[in-house]
Amino acid sequence: MNDAPDRAAPAPLARKHSLPDIPSSPLTPPEVYAALSAVWPAESALVTESTSTMAQQQEWLPTIRSGSFYATASGGIGWGVPAAVGVALGDRARGVERTVVATIGDGSFQYSVQAIWTAAQHDLPIVFVVMRNEEYSILKAFALLEKTPGVPGMDLPGLDIASIATGFGCRAVHADTSEQLAEQFTTALTAKGPTVIVVRTQPMMAHLG
Ligand SMILES: Cc1ncc(C[n+]2csc(CCOP(=O)(O)OP(=O)(O)O)c2C)c(N)n1
Ligand SMILES: [Mg+2]
């Protein structure tokens, strides 16, 4: 991380934000990111692997400081969860105290989930926010784009993500509304180790039409 930039950072882009007048159930990704943006500490690091919601993430949680945003450039999933652990371990090694916020899709979360055991064992200050839309949403959208709807194997029903997290020794909670998410996130900030917050969300084709 470059701690001594040779020029002043430009002001963040002014963005028009809009949320539904009536809260959605399940929440839409913008509602999730809006709730996080209201309560997350300004100096947090963001690690993201929520494939179908990246545009909304950039809208609501823009990167405004160097060394604070981490995402895979290749698109290979299974990187995000261990990357959050690596960022937190790196922070500790160089004496940086900050929360690592990891926004992860429910599919991507499965690929390297065992990394949360390391997070729990080392009491790392990570809040994993798992977007539980019960599918590989981006692949369903690709299938429509490629005019091949109905591709099998894209649904992810029956995954008890909080139990999986608990099984690896991680604190785990559910949040179904913006208020619950804000409350659980704020509580997670003062927890000793990591927390996995499972948030039920709308699939991409439902919230974008
Ligand atoms: C190692 C690897 N395997 C498979 C894929 C194909 N792939 C791309 S996105 C994706 C699904 C991601 O689903 P999820 O994390 O739930 O995010 P959502 O699209 O629902 O937001 C898959 C399987 C990949 N990119 N990398
Ligand atoms: Mg998903």
**Alpha carbons 57 and 32: distance in angstroms, whole number:** 9
**Alpha carbons 187 and 207: distance in angstroms, whole number:** 28
Among protein residues, the one whose CA lies closest to atom 23 of ligand 1: 136
The whole-number pLDDT of residue 1 equals: 52
5 phi and psi, to 5 degrees?
-65, 150
pLDDT tens figures, 144-167: 999 998 899 999 999 999 999 999
Residues of the chain with pLDDT under 50: none
* Residues lining ligand 1, Cβ inside 6 A: 50-53, 75-78, 105-108, 133, 135-139
CA of 94 to the centre of ligand 2 (A): 34
CA of 154 to the centre of ligand 1 (A): 10
Ligand 1 atom closest to Cα of residue 138: 19
CA angle 111, 71, 206 (to 5 degrees): 70
pLDDT tens figures, 89-124: 999 999 999 999 999 999 999 999 999 999 999 999
The whole-number pLDDT of residue 151 equals: 92
